[in-house]
């Protein structure tokens, strides 16, 4: 069995310039005074993870430990400062749902817009349009501008568009917490469906129950470093008991 994702020696360094240097004048002044030292911040250091095909892999850790950053690196949104990520197959990232939604437009228009942002073709969106709307259960709101939607309704539309493809690798960042409990169940069912089709899943969640229920293996990240990788039960139990 080959690997779906290979993360080797990945580090991510962010600039945390206390005062942002974004003009040429400031840049020159700082340059000549030799003050151009960015406060560097290592969001991730030396991460090595291999995710096998068909595996459901979880990432856990406290707020700000670097989980979302790692998912964005895997999805190609960020380039790691050092190290490499090898991905075999297509990715559907459910990281920030509804990217590019224009709230002045109707749900119908936004489905096309957000679909195109995700790289879908017009023809593909047309084919899947009814399926997307069915999943949101928002038929009567489809031609209403989205500024009149509740945040849960917006999330439904975002989730429905993002999960309409059958990707090889699904990346999920805490989005299962959106919507009411009925919709949460529906989302989890959808993800289960995708998983049963042999899709590899990498999932971040603060719900340890959910991680235990869904994942085969889990990595526990602490302050940008891997604290532990192993079977879901084992890692989760240590994580919850380490207070």
Ligand X SMILES: Nc1ncnc2c1ncn2[C@@H]1O[C@H](COP(=O)(O)OP(=O)(O)OP(=O)(O)O)[C@@H](O)[C@H]1O
Interacting residues toward ligand X by CB under 6 A: 14, 16, 43, 61, 63-69
Min separation Cβ 198 and ligand X, Å: 27
- Closest by CA to 59, choosing from 243, 230, 241, is 230
Which residue minimizes CB distance to ligand X?
Answer: 68
CA angle 93, 238, 42 (to 5 degrees): 50
Burial of 220 (0-12, 13-18, 19+ CB in 10 A): buried
Stretch that binds Mg ion, among 60-68, 85-93, 109-117, 142-150 (CB under 5 A): 60-68
Euclidean distance between CA atoms 96 and 170, whole angstroms: 13
Sequence-separated (6 or more) residues with CB below 8 Å from residue 62 = 222
Taking each helix axis from N to C end, the angle separating 122-136 and 107-117, rounded to the nearest 10 degrees, works out to 130
**Are the CB atoms for 12 and 75 separated by under 8 Å?**
no
For residue 56, the cross-strand partners are 201
Residue 93 binding: pick among another protein, ligand X, Mg ion, none (C-beta 5-8 Å cut-off by kind): another protein
Binding site for another protein (CB under 8 A): 14-15, 22-25, 27, 75-79, 93, 95-96, 99-100, 102, 112-113, 116-122
68 binds Mg ion (CB under 5 A): yes
- Residue 107 or residue 235: which is nearer to ligand X going by CB? 235
Residue 86 binding: pick among another protein, ligand X, Mg ion, none (C-beta 5-8 Å cut-off by kind): none
Residue 65 binding: pick among ligand X, Mg ion, another protein, none (C-beta 5-8 Å cut-off by kind): ligand X
Residue 167 binding: pick among Mg ion, another protein, ligand X, none (C-beta 5-8 Å cut-off by kind): none
């Amino acid at each position: 069995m080959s690997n779906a994702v290979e993360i080797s020696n990945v580090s991510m360094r962010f600039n945390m310039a206390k005062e942002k240097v974004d003009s040429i004048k400031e840049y020159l002044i700082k340059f000549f005074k030799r003050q151009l030292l960015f406060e560097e911040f290592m969001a991730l250091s030396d991460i090595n993870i291999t995710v096998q095909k068909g595996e459901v892999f979880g990432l856990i850790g406290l707020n700000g430990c670097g989980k979302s950053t790692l998912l964005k690196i895997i999805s190609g949104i960020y380039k790691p400062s050092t190290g490499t990520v090898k991905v075999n197959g297509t990715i559907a990232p459910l990281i920030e749902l509804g990217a590019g939604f224009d709230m002045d437009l109707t749900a119908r228009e936004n489905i096309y817009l957000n679909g195109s942002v995700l790289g879908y073709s017009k023809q593909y969106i047309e084919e899947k349009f009814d399926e997307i709307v069915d999943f949101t259960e928002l038929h009567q709101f489809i031609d209403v501008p989205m500024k009149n939607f509740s945040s849960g309704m917006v999330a439904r539309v975002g989730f429905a568009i993002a999960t309409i493809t059958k990707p090889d690798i699904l990346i999920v960042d805490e989005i299962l917490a959106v919507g009411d409990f009925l919709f949460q169940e529906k989302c989890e069912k959808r993800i289960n469906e995708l998983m049963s089709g042999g899709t590899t899943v990498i999932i971040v969640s603060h719900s340890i129950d959910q991680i235990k229920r869904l994942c085969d293996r889990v990595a526990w990240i602490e302050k940008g470093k891997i604290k532990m990788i192993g079977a879901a039960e084992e890692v989760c139990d240590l994580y919850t008991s380490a207070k």
